[in-house]
Chains A and B, each alone.
Chain A
Amino acid sequence: MTTPADVAAGGIGDLVRHRSIIVCCGSGGVGKTTTAAVVALEGARLGRKTVVVTIDPAKRLADALGLQGLTDTPSRIDGDWPGELWATMLDTKSTFDALVMKHAGDPEQGERILGNRFYRNISGALSGTQEYMAMEKLYELHDETDFDLVVVDTPPTRHALDFLDAPRRLSRFLDHRLFRLLIAPGRGLAKAVNVAAQTFLRTVSRVVGGEVVEDAVAFFQAFEGMEEGFRQRAARVNELLAADGTGFVLVASPRRDTVDEAHYFADRLHEADISVQGLIVNRVHPAFGLGDRADGPGAITAATAAGTARRAESLADTPIGGLYRNLADFQAVAGREHAHLAGLADTVAPAPVVWVPFLSSDVHDLTGLDEIAAHVFLRAG
């Protein structure tokens, strides 16, 4: 297992220093948004012009980052650092709108799509849109602005990595056979199939009402000719994600379910030929009885924990029983966490791994971010 000491020289700090894009991924509730903010702050501290794209920050963190309203343009956060720190919140709809206008043959085509009710539903209802737009935003910030480092948070869903096959998903959607047939009716062989398409649409109309189908058909008609541009763009986004300048950082907590999710994410990335460049584990319980273990869950073995538990049992009714019970409880947790995390660290090896202990309060200001940074960048004394 990689220990923090092995990587102290470089670690996550190296990524922040040298990469131009860092993507933070992991399941919901593991502190991903906060971690992304910590990484971005470090970028500014290292003198880089950094922007963090967050998805759904808790209100007080959003306030700390100057993100009061939903805003699509980055706002600058002032502070005492050599670089620059900017933050923006992902606005799925306006990102998609901009993408449509960019690929429209002419402004009228763009407006026609933007005004279509079916299109307006896409940003809210089509699964994977938020994930896809997060990556689109990343590409836009990287490609069209002069930021040195773009840090992006990913949506807290199991589908957070769906953007990896966004081009395929999107073309499947936009090229939908039945709608294509409908748009270009009655050409040669298609004619026979078209009858089936009509039957299908009649059925859909019977279930959801004709108006809904008309909206959809109007959308696909308006979209005609733009698919290729979308596809190419999506392919470029994927190239960027797999490029050397991009680093993926997994964020996890030591509970078994989130560790399982982290394994799943690591596998998905691996399939896409992307390697995990770092692992940050939040909310790690301290391991009491082993000196200062601030640098990671200690090697509390099941035997140590069981020994303490036996002692707690035999002393249960004495004045020191509660103290032993408590120590046994925490050693049991630390031991389990250690076991889960060792496996995860092996999976992502040789990527650096850092543990962030349970903090005494929620993070909602730069001081709090600094406290986490001390652990992530191994400055904790």
Chain B
Amino acid sequence: MDTEQFFAASRLVIVAGKGGVGKTTVSATLARAAALAGLSTLIVEVEGKSGLAAVFGQGELGYDEVVLAAGGGPDGAADVRARTLTADAALLEYLRDHGLSRVSKRLVSSGALDVVATAAPGIKDILLLGKVKQLVREEVADLIVLDAPAAGHAITFLQSARTLLDTVNVGPINAQARDVLSLLEDHRMCQVVLVTIPEETPVNEAVETAFSLEDRVGIGLGPIVVNGVYPALDGLVADPAAVEAAAASADVSLRAGEAQALADAAAFRLDRAALQAEQVGRLEERLPLPQLRLPFVFTTEIGPHELDELAHAMLAEIGDLAELPL
């Protein structure tokens, strides 16, 4: 499908997944891909110290917005901007906007927010999501990518609006929760992109999370990103004799032990690729969502160069999608 049409499906994309699956990398990739397609993009981070800025080759993020990847270039890319939200800062802003700035400082500095947050669980989450909602409403970017908290906490986080409506039945927080809920339930405004890797446990957990999000939060699910898929590579053979034959036909002479090393590395790749294919198939079977597969990057850290590679891979995958995911 058309990439612009794809990114126009909802203004807010919430990226969720367990620890270790590359959630932050995928948030960055989505944002950069959208920017390459010409959409101005804002990444919102809520946990701090996620390593998001490092992916763009930049230092730590703050509450104030920064440009992580400037647009321009031959493709007319748009900017990728980013900011961190904290519950404390969101609360200060909220109280100030509601004419309560006199006590707001003390509420935060005395640690009283902890007490209030315990009295009404989900209040921190609602403050964060309320701020996100404001950003969506103000249309601060064509696409807003929310790097959600990791693991099971993503469900709690997104469920906070519902939980709060049960505890707090009057007042501004109640109104805020209602507002957030209507945003989350509006599939044209907001969708969740789940991230997983093609391994057994992460696949199981992604399936569980997907159903929980639909049933318990009523949130719309976009395509699921399968991260770290070994790209196809021609000519891999796991047998040293076959490696020797390939060398001979390429007129290459191998050093001692080299055939074995090439064969071992090929065997490892073929073995893992087969396991991955099995898990990708299992995911397809159990979760009727379109998949966007991102290649495994052969390094231990993602930087701007790898990010661009991933963003282009994502654009190609989107191009291959048959129809609107929603």
Contact = CB atoms under 8 A, between A and B. Distances in A.
Report whether chain A binds chain B: yes
Interface in B187-215: 199-201, 204-205
A233 interface: no
B243 A125 contact: no
B151 interface: yes
A208 B123 contact: yes
Contact of A199 (B49, B103, B247): B103
A200 interface: yes
Contacts of A358: 272
B250 A288 contact: no
B203 to A, nearest CB: 10
Interface string B254-270: 00011001111110110
Contact of A330 (B18, B100, B252, B265): B265
B45 to A, nearest CB: 13
Interface in A268-301: 286, 288-291
A8 interface: no
Given A28-B150, A30-B20, A209-B173, A323 B300 contact: no
A139 to B, nearest CB: 23
Interface stretch (A83-91, A143-151, A173-181, A183-191): A173-181
B301 interface: yes
A157 B103 CA distance: 32
Contacts of B115: 173, 176, 178-179, 216
Q: What class of interface size applies to chain B in its complex with A?
A: 35 or more
B5 interface: no
Given A212-B119, A255-B301, A320-B250, A28 B258 contact: no
Q: Which of A118, A177, A257 has the most CB of B within 10 A?
A: A257
Given A215-B119, A315-B250, A336-B299, A203 B200 contact: no
Contact of B235 (A122, A126, A289, A320): A320
Contacts of A208: 116, 119-120, 123, 168, 171, 173
A333 B297 CA distance: 9
A278 B243 CA distance: 40
A59 B152 CA distance: 14
A58 to B, nearest CB: 4
B122 interface: yes
B321 to A, nearest CB: 27
Contacts of B117: 125-126
A60 B300 contact: no
B323 to A, nearest CB: 33
27 contacts: A30-B20, A56-B151, A56-B152, A58-B201, A58-B205, A60-B201, A118-B119, A126-B117, A173-B115, A179-B115, A207-B100, A207-B116, A209-B173, A209-B174, A212-B116, A213-B119, A289-B258, A315-B252, A322-B235, A323-B237, A325-B233, A326-B262, A332-B299, A333-B299, A333-B300, A337-B300, A360-B275
Closest 7 CB pairs of A and B: A29-B20, A28-B19, A322-B235, A125-B121, A289-B261, A318-B250, A29-B19
Given A28-B150, A173-B118, 17 more contacts: A56-B152, A58-B204, A118-B119, A127-B114, A178-B115, A200-B106, A206-B172, A207-B98, A208-B116, A208-B171, A209-B169, A209-B173, A322-B234, A323-B236, A323-B246, A326-B265, A337-B300
